[in-house]
Amino acid sequence: MNHIKLQLFNPEQCQAILHNVENGEWIDGRTTAGAQARDGKINEQIVHTSAIRAEIQNLVQQAMWAHPAIKSFCVPRKLHRFLISRTRTGGGYDSHVDNAYMSSGRSDLSFTLCLSDQQSFTGGSLEVDTVTDSLELELQQGEIVIYPSSTMHRVNTVTSGERVVCVGWIESYLKNETDRVTLFQLDTGARGLLAKHGRSEELDLVFLAYTNLLRSLGT
């Protein structure tokens, strides 16, 4: 599976967000699940019209787009359908695939940002299927993972405590996953060479090729 996982917020920033949502208006998470996945979803979410949710979405988006690796990996057109989810003991989300098109946009990439201290809950790992296997992702506080929305995935049962995360979807300028990964590898490699050896005419040509490929492949 092609994904990226990294630290987005520090624990102090996460605790500030958790404090803000503590007294928010929470609703049954099944209200935002598709018919085929609704019965297997046991969690709560901050009501979508909440000013707190909108404020946190803005904060998360600013941090994501300011991170060079995330911006290069996603080539984002927009972040949409942002949710704040709380899963308590016994809760989880059975296997499902995200809708390809939502009222807010196309889902090319999905992300989960863990706000809770991992010591405050057990279980609740995100599990994403690969072609032949599955990848279990246990996120530390402040870590984010971004992965293709086209994959089957699930949230394993929380066996104790409370797991609070932000989840959302990204519409990319690049619809095709292979194009995104190839351009990410090209950009990452070129930036690494620039940092190691400095600018050169040859490297300028690599950046030129990257830019023009992005221009031609983008939608």
Both 157 and 181 in one domain: the answer is no
Both 124 and 144 in one domain: the answer is yes
**pLDDT computed for residue 119 by the predictor:** 93
Token pair of 167 as six digits: 């989840």
pLDDT tens across 194-203, in order? 999 999 999 9
CA-closest candidate to residue 187, choices 74, 65, 63, 60: 74
Between the CA of residue 44 and those of 64, 88, 147, 201, 202, what are the distances in Å? Answer: 24, 9, 22, 54, 53
Both 149 and 54 in one domain: the answer is yes
- The mean pLDDT of 41-62, rounded to a whole number, is 95
pLDDT tens across 134-168, in order? 999 999 999 999 999 999 999 999 999 999 999 99
Both 117 and 199 in one domain: the answer is no
Query: 78: domain CATH number?
Result: 2.60.120.620
In DSSP terms, 83 is beta-bridged to: 167
Domain that holds residue 10: 4-172
Both 69 and 138 in one domain: the answer is yes
Task: Tell me the pTM.
Answer: 0.94
**Count of domains forming the chain:** 2
